[in-house]
Structure 1
Amino acid sequence: MSTQLSDGLTVLAVDDEEPALQELAHLLGEDARVGTVLTAPDATEALRILGSRPGANPGESGVDLVFLDIRMPGLDGLELARVLSAMAAPPPVVFVTAHDDRAVDAYEIGAVDYLLKPLRSERLAGSIDRTIASRAGVRPASAPSAPAPAGRPPAPQPPEDEVIPVELAGTTKLVPRSSVRFVEAQGDYARLHTTEGSHLVRIPLSVLEERWREAGFVRIHRAYLVALPLITELRLSGSGYVVRIGHGPGTPELPVSRRHTAALKRILRGRPPREDGPTGPLARIR
């Protein structure tokens, strides 16, 4: 089913429960940025709709955003999202569910957001904000940047802060990427070290290295990925180079492998000045 509202985003909502589907379609229709709301009661119908929509290029779905329930009979939401990810230009996916135990799986697939029922219009609007920002390659309007000085080109905008779902005793905690100081590989898992503690997530370090490169994270060792702006010192120790992350007592020191040392030195020497820190703008390299 299709509801034409006005010019704007074309959104597909998929849920096997009719009341939930109608509520989702209603909330989407109230957002001024949404032009067309398509609805499907299951994954089969969703695929039929996506296959019939004319895309601008081959392999495009003709849909700007898909809202998916996770638990549906037949092909569930996660399985449908994996099918969509095989498209040449897959549409962004937001999961809408009453269950909080599949958030890690959802983000591993590359979901834009993970919303829990009952839905709130402001959370729905936030998902649309993130989708528009990611497609445009800019930060959302809620976080405007300062204008560039006259005669100077504007600085590139950093990627929007990603949120990582972490399972803790049956509760899903959302950890912002900006709070992560460094990441430690633990087999097929990764341990996120933040200012408040550490969290184990089922994401390989190599995946985070690729995903967070533009956000300023660099690989220094086969077991470590670090936030470049937090490195305050690179020095030679008895067993090789190490980096310090931050200042003060208890500051972690992490090993730098021989294969990553030269590249890290080049990055640090070319790094723009930090605005904080009493001892100078750049990490000390010794």
Structure 2
Amino acid sequence: MRILIADDEPLARARLAALLGECANAELVGSVGDGEAALAACAELKPDVLLLDIELPGHDGLGIARRLAALPAPPQVVFCTAYEAHALEAYELHAADYLLKPVRVERLREALKRAEALRGGAGAPRAYLAARMGGELKRVPLDEVIYLLADDKYVAVHHSGGVLLIEDSLKALEQAHPERYARLHRNCLVPVERLLGLKTLADGRIVARLAGTEAAPEVSRRNLPALRRLLRES
């Protein structure tokens, strides 16, 4: 694979170049230090993979990824950054991976393998939610999310592998994926494809039946009409 590095720190570029030397089938075709140079190098060199820092002079990494996504055959983007905070937006831009500095060679190999699979048409990039667990950044594919429950300043992501906490608000998630989620009440979103039906309990409360779990989140009266319409139309 032909790989381009874009990072404003010379030592970071040198470290990534050295790590690429330990990765099979990785050919370094260029190394640049700002956003304009990254865009120009992508146009000229046509790399298969771009190892991209978030904080760059000229254009930040997220802006570069957005511009590259409009190309007919963009490179797979692997973010290499010291900041966890942009992970959600990065995955919404269909980044192949998101590596935290200092980058370990094992993670770089994994990221390149994922980028190669995506580039080779092994599947469309999956969208993810980014969560922290034990000090590490974890990814939860959107199709594994069962429901989202707001709890104080965090949102609990109940998914097929357990529960993780993210710092994004329900409102931000709803705006980022307007067709994906249905709101049960002010503190709960569920993926539309998980919503099987509604059930009225003996005490008059209404709960949702969801695929993949026995949990039955409560439905507010305010959101009930919209959910009934959704179920009729689906």
Superposition TM-score, scaled by structure 1 size: 0.59
Q: For 1:65 and 1:240, locate their aligned partners in 2 and report how far apart those are by CA, in whole Å.
A: 49
Contact 2:207–2:218 at 8 Å: present in 1 too? no
What is the CA-CA distance between 1:201 and the residue it aligns to? 1.9
Change (3 A) 1:220 1:137: farther
What is the CA-CA distance between 1:113 and the residue it aligns to? 1.6
For residue 234 of structure 1, the aligned residue among 197, 200, 205 is 197
State the partner residue of 2:147.
182
State the partner residue of 2:173.
204
Change (3 A) 1:26 1:198: closer
Q: For 1:225 and 1:165, locate their aligned partners in 2 and report how far apart those are by CA, in whole Å.
A: 17
Contact 1:163–1:174 at 8 Å: present in 2 too? no
Dislocated runs of 4+, deviation >6 Å = 238-241
* Structure 1, unpaired ranges of 5+: 1-8, 54-61, 140-158, 211-217, 265-286
What is the CA-CA distance between 1:42 and the residue it aligns to? 1.9
1:14 correspondence with 2:6? yes
- Alignment partner of 1:196: what SS? strand
What is the CA-CA distance between 1:27 and the residue it aligns to? 1.5
- 1:258-277 alignment, distance < 5 Å: 258-264=228-234
Q: For 1:135 and 1:225, locate their aligned partners in 2 and report how far apart those are by CA, in whole Å.
A: 31
Q: For 1:44 and 1:219, locate their aligned partners in 2 and report how far apart those are by CA, in whole Å.
A: 37
Contact 2:131–2:165 at 8 Å: present in 1 too? no
Contact 1:100–1:172 at 8 Å: present in 2 too? no
Contact 2:50–2:77 at 8 Å: present in 1 too? yes
State the partner residue of 1:85.
69
Contact 2:78–2:97 at 8 Å: present in 1 too? yes
**C-alpha distance after superposition, 1:18-38 (max 9, x if no partner):** 221122122123322323432
| Bigger radius of gyration among the two | 1
Between the two proteins, what is the percent identity of the paired residues?
31
**C-alpha distance after superposition, 1:261-282 (max 9, x if no partner):** 1354xxxxxxxxxxxxxxxxxx
Higher RCO (CA-CA < 8 Å; seq separation 6+) = 2
What is the CA-CA distance between 1:172 and the residue it aligns to? 6.7
Q: For 2:173 and 2:198, locate their aligned partners in 1 and report how far apart those are by CA, in whole Å.
A: 28
Q: For 1:190 and 1:128, locate their aligned partners in 2 and report how far apart those are by CA, in whole Å.
A: 31
State the partner residue of 2:209.
243
For residue 192 of structure 1, the aligned residue among 113, 132, 157 is 157
Letter of the 1:262 counterpart: R
Letter of the 2:231 counterpart: T
Contact 1:190–1:204 at 8 Å: present in 2 too? no
State the partner residue of 1:152.
none
Superposition TM-score, scaled by structure 2 size: 0.70
State the partner residue of 1:122.
106
- Alignment partner of 2:231: what SS? helix
